[in-house]
Amino acid sequence: MTTDIIAPPTVGQTKNLIAGQWIDAQSGETFDTYSPSTGRAIARVASGDSNDINQAVTAARKAFESGPWPKMSARDRGKLLFKLADLIEENAQELAALEVLNNGKPISEVLAADIPLMISTFRYYAGWADKVYGETIPVDAPGYFCYTRKEPVGVCGQIIPWNFPMLMLTWKWAPALASGCTMVLKPAEQTPLTALRLGELAVEAGIPKGVINIVNGFGETAGDALVKHPGVDKIAFTGEYKTAQIIMANAAPTLKRLTFELGGKSPNVVFADADLNKAVAGAMAGIFFNQGEVCCAGSRLFIEEEIHDEFVSRFSDAADARKVGDPFDTSTEQGAQVSKEQFDKVMSYIELGKQEANCVAGGESVGDKGWFVRPTIFTNVQNDMRIAQEEIFGPVVSVIPFKDTNEVIEQSNTTIYGLAAAVWTRDISKAFRLSESMRAGTVWVNCYNTFDAGAPFGGYKYSGQGRECGKDALNNYLETKTVWVNTN
């Protein structure tokens, strides 16, 4: 691969977007945002609180109730989503570089994964906009005509994390826009910059003012105010399950609709009859993609005993060979962890792992600036150890040997989470048996981390509630109205 260093972009927008205007926080407060690959502050961003949230919710309510948005035809709404997708495509290089700057992920991955997925998601939901409609119901009441309408749920509060800042925004904006909702987005405090650039592109696309509002700030202030605001009909949240528990409690008094996409400790199961080359590559991508900051990361790797040693030897060679470093270098495979806090969390789990199990690859940080961690593999792990049960959200994997199918099914499901699972085998009955037995929202067979705008994604158990992507996600943003007409 040729090595090319992309120039870091200059930071543009740092204010909040409310009712189509870019404005400072009412308090005048700002917070620093960082470049994870240098550890340095790169910009000061408007720090919103309950006053800014109130202003944004008021704008979103007005746009929902009396702006051009509710009157616009669904087909025209679809056109605006297509336009936004086109603008993202035109500005892909700049958006990608800004994501790298603020998140630390490698440029090659943003261009290969995040950007194309965003564009296809906006286009997918653009196509849905004019295909949302109800049914006529053959009711047992002579002379009565009964039908349903699908109506937008209203003002949506959207709270997103820092691991895929642009893609998580897209998974929230696209179905909400297609359904005719209006929204207030609260980006993660670690990674606000690309959301603001996308806000500018939404304005440029012609999405009416007040439909999309963005308030930056912290979870405990801006996020909390959004969850509690009586003018918000629904909250869509992605992040830690402990935060979701707080949100659920805080949303209870106003009975908001809630959807959650939360964490995981996903089992990746390799049988002895699998294609080992593919399984090793799949295990690598499964855990180390995006520095391991992936909700569906294959962080528990179950290996059938008879291939265990050979698998571990190939897997650790591949991990040792992985290129970790400057995310602006096009040949870099793994960038920096998002923040000092996450870096410290990952390193403390690595220290714990060294006490509980065997470290056969990595186990250390890289360099003296920025927040880089070597791909780390623990073997001799038991499923009940803390490193096998707690979400580390970094490039750290627990290898757990197994003897038979029943045992591995039982162990795979022994977790509070249920976001994803994978199985590697050439035996089709085993593949089906595991896909049915895994209590997880996505099961990958002989692959890992495949995503599509049309494929529902979300969790069982503590991994979430509701699904993003696909037709399922539209329903999160719709109410069903039943209309009875007496024609007698």
CB 242 → ligand NAI: shortest distance, Å?
Answer: 7
Per residue, the 3-state secondary structure of the chain, as one string, reads: CCCCECCCCCCCCCCEEECCEEECCCCCCEEEEEECCCCEEEEEEECCCHHHHHHHHHHHHHHHHHCCCCCCCHHHHHHHHHHHHHHHHHCHHHHHHHHHHHHCCCHHHHHHHHHHHHHHHHHHHHHHHHHCCCCEECCCCCCEEEEEEEEECCEEEEECCCCCHHHHHHHHHHHHHHHCCEEEEECCCCCCHHHHHHHHHHHHHCCCCCCEEECCCCHHHHHHHHHHCCCCCEEEEECCHHHHHHHHHHHHHHCCEEEEECCCCCEEEECCCCCHHHHHHHHHHHHHHHHHCCCCCCCEEEEEHHHHHHHHHHHHHHHHHCCECCCCECCCCECCCCCHHHHHHHHHHHHHHHHHCEEEECCCEECCCCCEECCEEEECCCCCCHHHHCCCCCCEEEEEEECCHHHHHHHHCCCCEECEEEEECCCHHHHHHHHHHCCCCEEEECCCCCCCCCCCECCEECCEECCECHHHHHHHCEEEEEEEEECC
CB 244 → ligand NAI: shortest distance, Å?
Answer: 7
CB 379 → ligand NAI: shortest distance, Å?
Answer: 23
* Structure-token match 């030897």, residue found: 313
Choose, from 109, 261, 333, 468, the residue flagged as catalytic.
Answer: 261
- Of the two residues 64 and 241, which places its CB atom closer to ligand NAI in the complex? 241
The answer to whether 391 is a known catalytic residue is no
Bridge-partner residues for 270, per DSSP?
Answer: 303, 424
- Of the two residues 401 and 464, which places its CB atom closer to ligand NAI in the complex? 464
The answer to whether 261 is a known catalytic residue is yes
- Of the two residues 292 and 363, which places its CB atom closer to ligand NAI in the complex? 292
CB 391 → ligand NAI: shortest distance, Å?
Answer: 4
- Of the two residues 63 and 169, which places its CB atom closer to ligand NAI in the complex? 169
CB 467 → ligand NAI: shortest distance, Å?
Answer: 14
By the criterion CB under 6 A, which residues form the site for ligand NAI? 159-161, 163, 186, 188-189, 218-220, 223-224, 227, 238-240, 243, 246-247, 262-263, 295, 342, 345, 391, 393
Alpha carbon distance 211, 20 (integer Å): 8
- Of the two residues 76 and 220, which places its CB atom closer to ligand NAI in the complex? 220
- Of the two residues 79 and 345, which places its CB atom closer to ligand NAI in the complex? 345
CB 227 → ligand NAI: shortest distance, Å?
Answer: 5
- Of the two residues 82 and 218, which places its CB atom closer to ligand NAI in the complex? 218
Choose, from 156, 181, 295, 296, the residue flagged as catalytic.
Answer: 295
CB 261 → ligand NAI: shortest distance, Å?
Answer: 6
Catalytic residues: 261, 295
